[in-house]
Amino acid sequence: MRRVIRFRDLGREDVGLVGGKNASLGELITGLGPAGVRVPDGFATTADAYRELLDTGGLRERIAEQVDRLHGGAPLSEAGAAIRSAVLDTPLPTALAQDVLTAYGRLARDAGRTDPDVAVRSSATAEDLPEASFAGQQETFLNVRGAEALLDACRRCYASLFTDRAIDYRERMGFDHLALALSVGVQTMVRSDLAGAGVAFTLDTETGFPGVVVISAAWGLGETVVSGQVDPDEYTVFKPVLKDHRLDPVVQVQLGAKRRKAVYGEDGSTTTVDTDEDERARPVLGQGDVRTLAEWAVAVEEHYGCPMDLEWAKDGISGQLFLVQARPETVQSRRHGEVLRRFRLTGTGERLVDGIAVGEAVGAGPVCALAEPVGLERFPQGAVLVTEITDPDWEPLMKRAAAIVTDHGGRTSHAAIVSRELGVPAVVGTGSATAVLADGREVTVSCAEGAEGHVYAGRVGYEATEIDLGALPATRTKVMLNLADPGAAFRWWRLPADGVGLARTEFVVAHQVRVHPMALVHPERLSAEDRRLVDELTYGCPDRTDYFVERLAQGVARIAASRWPDPVVVRTSDFKTNEYARLVGGAPFEPTEANPMIGWRGASRYYDPGYVEGFALECRALRRARDELGLTNVVVMIPFCRTPREADRVLAVMADNGLARGANGLRVYVMAEIPANVLLAEQFAERFDGFSIGSNDLTQLTLGVDRDSALLAHLFDESDPAVTRSIESLIATAHAAGRHVGLCGQRPSNDPDFTRFLVQAGIDSISVTPDSFAAVKHAVARAEAGTDVPPREGRGIMGGNGLTHSWRSP
């Protein structure tokens, strides 16, 4: 009988022998070690050794008896405790204990150390399969040293096969408790207690977007990340540019609070301590480490042929990175099929707390705030579970919850992982949920608004739609998306859109930057309070202008990555002066205008001494997104450009700041929203590569109607002949010059007749909000089928998106 096998002698075909975790470690060492992927050495006990233990002292029969009691109605807690006690009371077979200690001695000699510290991990023989995951259900013991401690940890691993949560999961999944076996993996410890550790996924865990690697990192041992005790750093890496070492593939960095870390304890165990102020402010990983982990993650994914969930650790002594676990991702990778389900709030309510959104659904119910797990009878079905953190002991309650809210944890915490698997919306890492959300209070938990999740007072109305991704016909006219929130961009990657026709930088500036760009260039003009706010927001940035550039560049890059390689048209800032003034530090730089709508906005700001330095920061951000992050599908669009001479001045400023039209394939569009853009379309076409019709502004300026006036609403009509003739004229002139023409307004979403008009006029693209995509795509297809529209160059889209049905919350 083979009771112990070295990792290097194992491969992924050995799951039945040593479980998924240990088989995968062997596969990493043998299959990816030659490519430079580092994995700590170790060994595993076999399933045969576990069965030998079951045959010792009648243990198998004692377990079977308790399983029968459970099926007969005995409480899970009683049956589970009896089984664990029986396992712990049964001595390891002498041959198994001897083989474990012999392998441990070999590991010590190879490491050149006496009694080396090891991690002792459980690996069930049915775990980490694509159709099921037992991750986190069995125990792991860290910093185990010496023969006696090692054998004790092995016994406790065997007993952990019968934790209440593991028994419950197998019951739900239909696994035979005695048909499973458990392997114990013994692995040299990586001294991440002196550095950091975390996890990496080869897709976006919330949306399944496959174009990125998402890495979470915290100081110390990795158990704090998996358990949700800390809010970790998060790095998003764009796969398509990863292999080009001239480019920076990290499209987003979000620093977490990282208030605690797990380190070695004095007694040979581990303990959790507070981090210091420097650790909380500083990223765990440098750019080189992020890139290395992402490259390893992609190599593992390619080797296994499926999305992967990895654990990594960095040794604080050697400075080297290691992969310590690898398993198939089991939530998003199972979501096949061509139906996309989306939620949208239809009501409003007071926002109580915010955190990281897990999933994309909405849930509502009474708050059930708990400090520790309770019996099922004390947790009402459909309640909102509110607690500090969760661990596997919470899972029976989590299955009954309408939603879950925690104070701590990130996207890879236990609460997040289990919520995704259960399909329950969760908001984690709120920091204050247990203090704010009173027990019994009705709340609505929304994960349908992007990367940030919100908890609202009361039951807020919402609707859910199912979108059939296989129901859409091909169209010659491109249908694109209007996007603003980078956090929501990955939600729509499955939609077969032809790119993004309008990405508004104002959303990123207002919500993620929050500071007026000129306040970063000229802080001496700020009040004491504004200087304090700017210092707080830009903490850790030696050059405050870099704060603006990095935040805007990352927001643009995330949107561009979601549609790569299709074009993403990014409009430079188009705040009005009153809106700019509301940004932090904005008041000293903005005049008071009687009519900001037709005042100092758009292109007129970009070359003006009062804003040209701020526009330079916008240019730096766009250049970084394109030239350094590699998102060359970004098309820059200039809004509210009144004259050809103004266009020349703006293009000159852009070129001075490294954004020369044509350089590195840069295309520059202009918004067509002023009658002058139509009347002088030929001259604008000489300066720009395309036009995007802003139908709202074009209508109000053509008809002389304030689009915000309720008194004149009956006169505001994009289908007025004066407007439609302008659109027809612009399309004809632009096409004669070989220029693209699109429209990015709301009217096509609400008016199929207007869509038909645009198709008949020969529009190249129509850009709409994602929730309107299905209806507009069908309307375009019908318009093309019913009219003699001349063929134009363009990529046909097979498949699509048909709205099948919707429903609303009570």
Residue type present at position 105: G
- Rounded-to-integer distance, Cα 760 and Cα 403, Å: 48
Q: Considering only CA atoms, which of 358, 442, 396, 351 is closest in space to residue 172?
A: 396
Residue 347's alpha-carbon distances to 208, 454, 603, 766, 810, in angstroms, are 28, 13, 37, 28, 12
738: alpha, beta or left? (left if phi > 0; alpha if psi -120 to 50) = left
- Rounded-to-integer distance, Cα 622 and Cα 616, Å: 10
Element holding 20 (H helix, E strand): helix 15-27
- 522 is an active site residue: no
- Rounded-to-integer distance, Cα 70 and Cα 87, Å: 17
Place of tokens 């990281």: 356
Max Cα–Cα distance, the chain, nearest Å? 94
733's CB contacts (< 8 A; 6+ apart) are 681, 682, 685
Catalytic-role residue among 408, 641, 744, 778: 744
- Rounded-to-integer distance, Cα 664 and Cα 328, Å: 38
285's CB contacts (< 8 A; 6+ apart) are 196, 215, 217, 233, 235, 293, 314
> Beta strands 321-328 and 339-345: pairing type?
unpaired
Residue type present at position 310: L
Tokens matching residue 278: 């420097």
Q: What order do you get walking across the sheet with 140-144 strand by strand?
A: 4-6, 42-45, 182-188, 118-124, 140-144
Element holding 669 (H helix, E strand): strand 668-672
Give the CA angle between residues 795, 797, 801 to the nearest 5°. 150
158: alpha, beta or left? (left if phi > 0; alpha if psi -120 to 50) = alpha
For the chain, give me the number of helices (H) and strands (E)?
29, 31
Tokens matching residue 118: 């090891």
Catalytic-role residue among 414, 454, 516, 740: 414
CB atoms within 10 A of CB 773: 25
- Rounded-to-integer distance, Cα 425 and Cα 364, Å: 10
- Rounded-to-integer distance, Cα 535 and Cα 322, Å: 37
Q: Considering only CA atoms, which of 267, 63, 23, 51 is closest in space to residue 145?
A: 267
Pinpoint the alpha helices (H) of 282-413. Answer: 287-304, 395-398
Q: Are 285 and 319 in contact (CB under 8 A)?
A: no
Length of the chain: 810
3-state secondary structure string across 229-265: CCCCEEEEEEHHHCCCCCCCCEEEEECCCCCEEEEEC
Packed helices 147-159 and 94-111: angle between N→C axes, nearest 10 degrees: 120
- Rounded-to-integer distance, Cα 683 and Cα 642, Å: 12
Residue 88's alpha-carbon distances to 84, 156, 161, in angstroms, are 6, 7, 12
Q: Please tell me whether the peptide bond between 373 and the residue prior to it is cis, using omega within 30 degrees of 0.
A: no
- 541 is an active site residue: no
Residues marked as catalytic? 414, 744
